[in-house]
Amino acid sequence: MSGAPAIVLLSGGLDSATCLAIASESGYDVVALSFRYGQRHLVELTAAAALAERAGVEHVVVDVDLSAFGGSALTTEVPVPKHDVVADLDADIPVTYVPARNTVFLSLALALAEVRGADDLFIGVNAVDYSGYPDCRPEFIAAFERLANVATRAAVADGRRLRVHTPLIALTKADIIRRGVELGVDYAATITCYDPGTDGSACGHCDACLLRRQGFVDAGVPDPTRYRGGSS
């Protein structure tokens, strides 16, 4: 690759896989960044590595032990809520919210960006299907970008301008899937489920599975997700 370097946060899920494809297609020389943060299912990281390899980009995995803090169903033994239809999803911020997660992840992306001389960060948040997480909103992204431009040697001493790109922010799940299909994203290789099997199969009933499944329906695209035990 010969484009400008960019750091792309890659969880191994549908959104970040699409975000990676968009950054690559825009001509950036992408470094994908994932975290071993105490999540219960490391199968996400396996998916992220496979997606990065398929995209032909470097993949960096950083250890940051959020599980020491507790406070979320994604890092502790609190049960993941299950529902049958999207209409049943909680309107409040769900227990799967990880405190300050995107703040921590973008901060680490900023550190890597500075070391690699990258001015561009990509994160696959979207404000439409954002499950009530405060750190997926445009206000949050704008505040982080302002912070980045006073926090780093890159911006302060070298006069560089750091940007946080959120190409999915205004898209519905169906829009994201349609865009990813155009770009050749292999969604069978992505893991969105909050409670996946060790083989990467999805539960089909957590908030993330319900939103994802509805997205394929709305996009008119066959759902390649492997659901556990053949359940749907």
Interface positions with a second copy (CB under 8 A): 60-66, 68-71, 92-93, 97-104, 106-108, 110-112, 114-115, 134-135, 137, 139-140, 143-144, 146-148, 150-153, 155-157
* Residue 142 or 217 having the CB closest to a second copy: 142
Task: Give the nearest distance from C-beta 69 to a second copy in angstroms.
Answer: 5
Our CB check for a second copy shows the closer of 140 and 187 to be 140
Minimum CB distance to a second copy, residue 58 (Å):
12
Q: Within 13 Å and on the Cβ side, how many CA atoms surround 65?
A: 1
CB of 15 to a second copy, least distance (A): 19
Nearer to a second copy, 26 or 107 (CB): 107
**C-beta separation of 155 from 132 below 8 A:** no
Structure tokens at 232: 């749907």
For residues 80 and 213, what is the distance between their CA atoms, to the nearest angstrom? 17
Q: By the 8 A CB rule, do 152 and 142 touch? A: no
Smallest gap from Cβ 137 to a second copy, in A, equals 7
Tell me the C-alpha distance between 48 and 227, whole Å.
19
Residue type for position 126 = N
Of the pair 64, 183, the CB lying nearest a second copy is at 64
Least CB distance from residue 68 to a second copy, whole Å?
6
Q: Is 27 or 70 the residue whose CB approaches a second copy more closely? A: 70
CB atoms within 10 A of CB 199: 8
Angle (deg, nearest 10), helices 173-182 and 14-25: 50
